[in-house]
Amino acid sequence: MANATWTRHHVLSLADFTPAEYDIVLQTAASFRQVLSRRTRKVPALQGQLVTNLFFEPSTRTRSSFELAAKRLSADILNFSPGSSSLTKGETILDTAKTYLAMGTNLMVIRHAQAGVPQAIAAEMDRMQSGVGVLNAGDGQHEHPSQALLDLFTLCTLLDHDNPRADLLQGKKIAIVGDILHSRVARSNLWSLTACGAEVHLAAPPTLLPPGFAQGFQPTDQPSRGSIHCHWQLDPALENADFVMTLRLQRERMGQHLLPSLREYHQQFGLTCDRISSCNPNVKVLHPGPVNRGVEISSALMDDPSFSLIADQVTSGVAVRMALLYLMTGGD
Amino acid sequence: MANATWTRHHVLSLADFTPAEYDIVLQTAASFRQVLSRRTRKVPALQGQLVTNLFFEPSTRTRSSFELAAKRLSADILNFSPGSSSLTKGETILDTAKTYLAMGTNLMVIRHAQAGVPQAIAAEMDRMQSGVGVLNAGDGQHEHPSQALLDLFTLCTLLDHDNPRADLLQGKKIAIVGDILHSRVARSNLWSLTACGAEVHLAAPPTLLPPGFAQGFQPTDQPSRGSIHCHWQLDPALENADFVMTLRLQRERMGQHLLPSLREYHQQFGLTCDRISSCNPNVKVLHPGPVNRGVEISSALMDDPSFSLIADQVTSGVAVRMALLYLMTGGD
Amino acid sequence: MANATWTRHHVLSLADFTPAEYDIVLQTAASFRQVLSRRTRKVPALQGQLVTNLFFEPSTRTRSSFELAAKRLSADILNFSPGSSSLTKGETILDTAKTYLAMGTNLMVIRHAQAGVPQAIAAEMDRMQSGVGVLNAGDGQHEHPSQALLDLFTLCTLLDHDNPRADLLQGKKIAIVGDILHSRVARSNLWSLTACGAEVHLAAPPTLLPPGFAQGFQPTDQPSRGSIHCHWQLDPALENADFVMTLRLQRERMGQHLLPSLREYHQQFGLTCDRISSCNPNVKVLHPGPVNRGVEISSALMDDPSFSLIADQVTSGVAVRMALLYLMTGGD
C-alpha cells in the first residue's frame, strides 16, 4: 500500500492536508474496500494493537463505524462511555486520556462537544513522547476530518471506481446546503474540497452562513486550489452542480431564533427531486446523517438510488477509517 | 450439518415453521452444544461476518446470549444501544437499520417494544435485495421465536439427549401458566409446541387469558398438530402435565387493574412444589427469566434441580442462537 | 510459568494470601508484562474461555482494565451493565450470576457497592460445584484485591525489575494517606504490604481513621510480617518513607461532616513536592485513581515523573489482571 510517504501521526484537522496525503488515504481506502467485499472481511493488520474510542459526546453511528473499522483490522478495542465514567468523579479529560495511554493504547479516536479537546490530548501525547496517535472524530463545531475524507472517497470512487484520486474533483461544482455555521462536517469538507480543486458553493440563510464565513478557508494561490462562493438562496448554488451535500438541521436551532420554522426552512433550503432539476443531470446528493426526513431533504429524494449517495457514504466510512487507523499506526 | 434444506432467510415468527425446519434447528443446535462442551468453545464459522444487535428495547439477558453466540462463531459484532443513539436525533428506525446495512451487516438481531418492527425491517432488506437476514429477538407482545426454539431444544434434549427432534413432543401435555395475554414468549411457544404435536394447556386469570385467545393459534388438520386448551384455574392445566412453563409477571399489570395483588396471584397461579404434585412425577418446570421469586414461582421450586430446567434454558439459548445465526447466514 | 502451586479458585480478599501466592502473582504478571511489550501484545492462553464482568457499581477504569486483560489473553468477554439490566426487573443478584454461569462463564469479575456480594456469589458457585472462579473487583468498603496486587507489582518491579518478589518490601516504610476508613484499596493493601514485611504508616484525620482501625489487620507473629502505625498528622507518616500511597477523597465526605473543607484537607493531608521532602530522597508516590487534582495530591507532584508511579500502576494493572485471570482459570 502507498503509505511510503505517510508521515502524519495525528489527524486533527484537514486545514494542512496536501493533495498527496489525500491520495494516500484514497488509495489505502480503496484497497480496504476490496477486503470488505470478500467473504471474510478482515485482515490481521492491527492484531494486538489497541484502539481506544474516547467519545465524550455520545454517538452511535460514528462510534460504530470506528469500532467496526478497528475490528476489521483485528485490533483490540476499548470504548470509553461518558455515562459510567470517572469524569463524574472529577477526573480531568487529560488524566482520562493518560489512563488509557498507560493501559497500552496505540491510537485514540476522540469526540468531544468542545472544539480543541483532541488537539489538547494530541499535544499531551506528543509532550510525553508517547508515540500514540490521536484521530479527531468530531470536536464541537470545529472539524470532523474522517467524515470529510469519507465524503471525498465517496465522490472520487464514483468518478473513477478503481483509481480514486484527489484531482478528479478539479473544477467540479459542489454545493453545501444548510446549517453551515454550526457544522464541523462543512468546515472539514471546505478544506478537502478546495484542496482538490473543487468549486464549492455554500447556501444557507444568513443566520446560518454569516457574512465573511468563507474567508477563513480562502484558497491560497496554489494552482490546484478551488474556490468558495456563498449564497443566501438555494438556486444559484444548485445550478449545474455536480454534487450537493446537505447538512443535518438540528431542531434546537429554532429555539435559538435562527430559523422561522422547519416547514419554511424546508421550503427554502430543503432538497427535493424538483429543486435539483437545475443541477447537472448526473447530480448526486450526500448527507452525513442522521437525516431529518422532510426537513433538509425530502424522503422521495433521499430514497431515490439514482441520486442518493447516503448509503455509499456509510460504506465508505468503514474503509476510510480502516485506512486512517492503518496509516496512523504505521501499518506494516 | 443438516442445513441442506434450510431456505429461511429471516426468522420473524414461528407461525409457518415446519416440523422439518424445527428438526434442522434442533440438530444444528445439538452440534453446537458439543462445541460448547470442549475446552476451546469456539468455531471460525462466521469469521469476518458482521452480526448487528439492534436492541431498541433494553435487554441484558437476550442481548448477552446473542452476543455470545456470535462470538462463539467468531463473527464481528456491533451493539446498537438506544440510549446514545441517533434515534433521539430524529432518525427513523428504517434509516438506522439501513445505516448498519451499509456498514456491512450480514445479519440483524432486532428487539423492539412495538410488534412488527423486525418484519418492517426485513421487508425493507428484501426490497433492497440486500441479502441480509433479520432475526426477531422479541417484538412487543407478538413473538420471540428464539426463546421458543431454545425452550423446544431444552425439552427435546431432555427427552433424547443425542437426537433431539420435534416428534418427541407428540402427545406430551405442556402447561403454560401466567400472563399469557401480554407474552410474546407464550405466542411463539404456542406455534412451536402445537406444530410438534403437543397438547398445550393455558392457565391464567381471565384478565390475562381472554376468551377466544387461542383461536388465532388453532391447529390445522395436519395429523401431527397438537391441541390448545384454556383454563381460568391452575389445577386442570397441571394435572398429569409433562412440562410446565411459567411466565414472568410484570409488576405493572397490577397498576393496570389486571390483578388484585401479587400475593393473591401467587396463591392462585404461582407454581410451588406442592402444587405441581398433581403433575406427571417426572414433570419439569421452565421459565424464560428473569424470575420474580415468590410471584410466578416459589423460590424452593425454582432452586430444586430435580424440577427446574431454568439453567438449561439459558445454556440451550447460546447453542440455539448459534444455530440460527449459522443457518441464516448460510454457514459453510 | 510458576503456577504449579497455585490452588486458589477465587480471589475475594487478601487476608489469607501467603507470601508464596504473592510471588506467583508477581512472577506471572512479570511474564505477561513482557507479552505487553511486544508488537503483538496478545497470547491465545484463554481462547474460547468466557470472562464475564458483572459490574453492579459503575466503573470505567477498572472494567476497562479487566476487559483489556481478558482480550490480551484472547478470552471472550461479556459485560453486564446495570443500567439496562434484569435487576430493574426484580431479578436477584444471585440469579443474574447464575444466568451468566449457565451461558458458559468460566470466570466472573464482580464489583458491587455492597461488601460481601462477590463472596456470596463465590459461595453459590461452589455450592453448585460449578468450577467457576470469582474475582472481587471491589466490594463496598471491604476489599479490592487486584488493586493492591497491582500496587505490589508496581513497587516490587521498581525494586527489582526482572525479578519482582514479595520479600523486596521487607522493612520498607510505606505511608498510606487519606480516606482510609472508607477505602477498600487501603484495606487490601494493609493485608498485602504487612504480609510482605513492610512497615505501614496510616495518616488521616480522626474522622477518617478511627481509633482501633488497624487492630483488625494486626500482624501475626510470623517473622516476615510487617507492622502498622496510625497517625492523625501527615508528617510522622512521611518521614523517611520509601513510598507514599495517597487515596482518593470522595467529595461526598464533606456533606457527611467528616471534613471541614477540601482546601483545609489539602493543607493538612494533601501531598505536595514540598511536603514529601522529609521522605526518603528516592520516594515514589502512588494513587489508585481517579485523582482529584489539588485535593489529595497537588498537580505539580502528580505530574512529576521523578516521583509519580500513577501511570505505572495503570500499566501494571493490565499485566496483574492477566495473571489473575490466567491463574484462576488454570491456564495451561
Tens of pLDDT, residue by residue over B314-326, are 999 999 999 999 9
Segments of chain A assigned E as strands: 50-55, 76-80, 107-112, 133-139, 173-177, 199-203, 227-231, 243-246, 284-286
Same domain for A197 and A130? no
CA distance C227 to chain A (A): 32
Q: What are the chain A neighbours of C72 within 8 Å (beta carbons)?
A: 76
List strands edge to edge, sheet with A107-112: A76-80, A50-55, A107-112, A133-139
Residue with cell 471546505: A190
- Give the tens place of pLDDT for each residue, B76-108: 999 987 765 445 567 899 999 999 999 999 999
Do residue A64 and residue B89 have CB atoms under 8 angstroms apart? no
Half-sphere exposure of C218 (CA within 13 A, CB side): 5
Any domain includes B6: no
Same domain for A126 and A150? no
Any domain includes C9: no
- Give the tens place of pLDDT for each residue, A83-115: 654 455 678 999 999 999 999 999 999 999 999
- State the pLDDT at residue C160: 98
What's the grid cell of residue B94?
428504517
Any domain includes A130: yes
Any domain includes C3: no
What's the grid cell of residue C133?
472462579
Instruction: Enumerate the β-bridge partners of residue A199.
Output: A173, A227
Any domain includes A36: yes
Contact B325, B46 (CB under 8 A): yes
User: Confidence class of residue B1 from pLDDT cuts 50, 70 and 90?
Assistant: very low
* Residue, of C247 and A58, whose pLDDT is higher: C247
Assess whether pLDDT exceeds 60 at residue A4: no
What subunits make at least 3 CB pairs under 8 angstroms with A? Answer: B, C
Assess whether pLDDT exceeds 60 at residue A146: yes
Query: Euclidean distance between the first and final Cα of chain C, in Å?
Result: 9
Q: Residue C216: which residues within 8 A CB-CB, separation 6 or more?
A: none
CA distance C317 to chain A (A): 8
Which of B64, B81, B83 is the closest to C78 by Cβ? B64
Do residue B50 and residue A68 have CB atoms under 8 angstroms apart? yes
| Distance, CA of A90 to CA of B299 (rounded, Å) | 43
Any domain includes C13: no
Torsion of CA C204, C210, C211, C213, to 10 degrees: -90
User: Confidence class of residue A1 from pLDDT cuts 50, 70 and 90?
Assistant: very low
User: Confidence class of residue B306 from pLDDT cuts 50, 70 and 90?
Assistant: very high
- State the pLDDT at residue B28: 97
- Give the tens place of pLDDT for each residue, B170-189: 999 999 999 999 999 999 99
Question: What is the three-class DSSP state of B266?
Answer: helix
What subunits make at least 3 CB pairs under 8 angstroms with C? Answer: A, B
Same domain for A168 and A301? yes
Q: Residue A265: which residues within 8 A CB-CB, separation 6 or more?
A: A205, A249, A259, A295, A296
User: If DSSP states are collapsed to H, E and C, what string results for C76-121?
Assistant: EEEEECHHHCHHHHCCCHHHHHHHHHHHCCCEEEEEECCCCHHHHH
Do residue A103 and residue C41 have CB atoms under 8 angstroms apart? no
Q: What is the CA A202 to chain-centroid distance, rounded?
A: 17
CA distance B76 to chain A (A): 7
- State the pLDDT at residue A81: 76
Assess whether pLDDT exceeds 70 at residue C321: yes
CB count within 10 Å of CB C324 equals 25
CATH of the domain at C318: 3.40.50.1370
CA distance C196 to chain B (A): 36
What subunits make at least 3 CB pairs under 8 angstroms with B? Answer: A, C
Q: Residue A106: which residues within 8 A CB-CB, separation 6 or more?
A: A46, A49, A50, A51, A75, A132, A133, A329
Contact C195, C17 (CB under 8 A): yes
* Structural domain that includes position B114: 19-143+314-328
Which of B83, B91, B99 is the closest to A314 by Cβ? B99
Domain count, chain B: 2
Nearest Cα residue in chain A from B47 = A40
Which of B81, B92, B98 is the closest to A311 by Cβ? B98
Average pLDDT over residues A182-189: 97
Same domain for C214 and C78? no
Any domain includes C12: no
| Distance, CA of A184 to CA of A190 (rounded, Å) | 10
Q: What are the chain B neighbours of A312 within 8 Å (beta carbons)?
A: 102
Which of A65, A71, A83 is the closest to B76 by Cβ? A71
Question: Among C99, C95, C53, C102, which Cα is nearest to C76's?
Answer: C53
Write out the residues of chain B at the interface with chain C, using a CB-CB cutoff of 8 A.
Answer: 36, 38-42, 58-61, 64-65, 67-68, 71-72, 81, 83, 248, 251, 289-293, 311-315, 317-318
CA distance C129 to chain B (A): 13
Same domain for A172 and A293? yes
Same domain for B78 and B172? no
User: Confidence class of residue A185 from pLDDT cuts 50, 70 and 90?
Assistant: very high
Contact B67, B60 (CB under 8 A): no
What's the grid cell of residue A79?
470504548
Average pLDDT over residues A115-139: 97
ipTM above threshold 0.90: yes
Any domain includes A55: yes
Assess whether pLDDT exceeds 80 at residue B220: no
Same domain for B171 and B297? yes
Half-sphere exposure of C56 (CA within 13 A, CB side): 24
* Residue, of C64 and C258, whose pLDDT is higher: C64
- Give the tens place of pLDDT for each residue, C171-218: 999 999 999 999 999 999 999 999 999 999 999 999 999 999 998 887
